[in-house]
Amino acid sequence: MSGQVKRAFKHRFYPTEAQAVELTRTFGCVRKVYNLALQARAEAWALRQERVGYDTTSALLTAWKRTEGLAFLNEVSSVPLQQALRHLQTAFSSFFAKRAGHPRFKSRKKSRASAEYTRSAFRWRDGVLTLAKMSEPLAIRWSRPLPTGATPSTVTVSQDSAGRWFVSLLCEDPNVRPMPVIESAVGIDVGLDHLLVFSTGEKIANPRHEVRARRALAKAQRALCRKQKGSSNRAKARVRVGRIHARIADRRADHLHKITTRLVRENQTLVIEDLSVSNLAANRSLARSIGDAGWRQFRQMLEYKAAWYGRTVIAVDRWFPSSELCSVCGALAAEMPLRVRTWTCVCGATHDRDVNAARNILAAGLAVTVCGADVRPQRNPPGGQSATKQKSPQREPQGSLVHVGKVNQAPP
């Protein structure tokens, strides 16, 4: 794996006024081209049942540049516009493969402002980066150096809702290599009271970053609502709201990075539940807390770090009754409402609900590695049942294991 893993190094930079204007114009053109191509593909399918690919949209882009209304597309580098078409093609490929929903139009206010440059559209020399259509290099604040001898293959420039500018450089990182094989394994149960509970009995507290910033966020949002639409004061108030959201997101990501890195370093096998976070977030009373916990982000980090360093991540089916099954004797409890945090089995063993669930998750995952099962996790629950945290809608015999699968491991 050494020298084969591509890793993005994200740094903040401070553009000059001219660079900010050029990049803002590029963001708008990228968004425009993406939306035009999406509309063209949608109309081709609706009117003629025709699938339009990247080659066709690339030809359309050339034609659009020749029209009077879209002549402004010639003012920016053509590479980010072509990359937008490639990203749209990737989005449709994921949609047809049923890995994602149908691509949606990009909004100026809600969509991420970014532009991607390939090698032909930037110059990299001795750690100095200059983008196409710019005479001066970017003033990058290097928080950490790139790997020795690394040369970026693509560069992505973006601006967040807080007004901060970032540049992400995709490079091959020779420092990413498999770690020595160890024997330890851990089962992980996610929750809201405690963010994570391990089969070892350790519990990671939920920092609740959004809750801690809720008062300041509410104050900033009220101030935003009082500003006149279209005014410069409203734009400033929107940035203040964005800064609070950015601070929350940064703290959450930092916390999850530290936890996932530690888990990957200390364990060879990591077993988690294959939860459907989108379905769980449909519960309006818990959606805000689930989003604040960052369950999906935790799993994504765990999977790509495990793939980098030669670890194994196994996902146990979401309908496996991990909380209701006794980890000592295998007896299945009749009912287990969420308010029950400790319970005693018929065999006399007293369980902490979350620790018991983590131990059962670990046992189920290890059964996959021992028995060689490779069954895909069940995506559609029988009867269409929806629950706050999924429980098996149909009871299985005591000690049985159903729908346990191994996660596809790949770097992001």
The residues annotated with a catalytic role in the active site are 189, 273, 354
274: helix, strand or coil: coil
Burial of 180 (0-12, 13-18, 19+ CB in 10 A): exposed
Count other Cβ atoms within 10 Å, centred on residue 77.
20
Token reading at 216: 């300041």
C-alpha distances in angstroms, 265 versus 152, 161, 258? 27, 34, 11
SS3 312: strand
Residue 243 token pair: 């800064």
Q: CA nearest 319: which of 378, 388, 400, 407?
A: 378
Residue 203 three-state SS: strand
Give 15-39 as a DSSP string: --HHHHHHHHHHHHHHHHHHHHHHH
| Residue 225, C-beta contacts closer than 8 angstroms, at least 6 positions apart | none
Residue 66 and residue 73: Cα distance in Å, rounded? Answer: 9
CA separation, residue 331 to residues 86, 92, 232, 323, 326 (Å): 53, 46, 64, 11, 5
Pairing of strands 203-205, 165-172: unpaired
d(CA 81, CA 61): 8
CA distance 30 to 73: 9
Q: How far is CA 293 from CA 128, 282, 316, 341, 389, in A?
A: 38, 15, 20, 19, 14
| Sequence-separated (6 or more) residues with CB below 8 Å from residue 403 | 317, 319, 320, 375, 376, 377, 378
Tokens for 377, please give them. 């996790």
CA proximity to 206, closest of 259, 141, 274, 276: 259
